[in-house]
């Protein structure tokens, strides 16, 4: 994997066309409809909206998607609440790998690669 340096970053930024605030506002409005609340936007909402201002298609496409799940003993229970208290981490990780865990089904339904 190539290291992305500061110079690389500025080089990529210089190739972008002018920022379009209208596209950003449209993406933010879409997130507001999805969220259906008056809460401030979450970090992902805000980042997606800002990236949309540079996207040639309008809304910035976040695909392909991948969800990485890292697990150790009791890690799934303590951090992500993906399992019941009596379940073992190994059993849940096997279910994830077999595509039978709830997170696996959600990933399949949203065209997201699940990497346990």
Which contacts (CB < 8 Å, 24+ apart) does range 57-62 have?
Answer: 58/23, 58/26, 58/27, 59/23, 59/26, 59/27, 59/30, 60/27
Residues 89 and 110 in one domain: yes
Residues 69 and 106 in one domain: yes
Does residue 58 lie in a domain region? no
Does residue 80 lie in a domain region? yes
Does residue 12 lie in a domain region? yes
Residues 47 and 77 in one domain: no
Residues 77 and 109 in one domain: yes
Does residue 100 lie in a domain region? yes
Q: Name the residue range of residue 46's domain.
A: 6-52
| pLDDT tens per residue across all 116 residues of the chain | 456 777 887 787 777 778 888 888 888 888 888 777 677 777 778 888 888 887 777 656 667 778 877 766 554 455 555 555 556 777 877 888 788 888 888 888 888 887 77
Single pTM value for the model? 0.42
Residues 45 and 73 in one domain: no
Structural domains in the chain (count): 2
Residues 79 and 110 in one domain: yes
């Amino acid at each position: 994997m190539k290291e992305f340096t500061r110079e690389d970053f500025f080089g990529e930024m210089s190739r972008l066309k002018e920022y379009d605030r209208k596209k950003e506002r449209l993406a933010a409005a879409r997130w507001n409809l999805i969220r259906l609340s008056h809460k401030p936007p979450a970090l992902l909402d805000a980042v997606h909206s800002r990236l949309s201002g540079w996207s040639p298609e309008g809304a910035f496409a976040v695909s392909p998607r991948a969800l990485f799940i890292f697990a150790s003993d009791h890690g799934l229970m303590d951090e992500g609440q993906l399992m019941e208290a009596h379940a073992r981490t190994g059993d849940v990780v096997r279910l994830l790998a077999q595509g039978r865990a709830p997170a696996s089904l959600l990933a399949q339904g949203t065209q997201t690669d699940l990497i346990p």
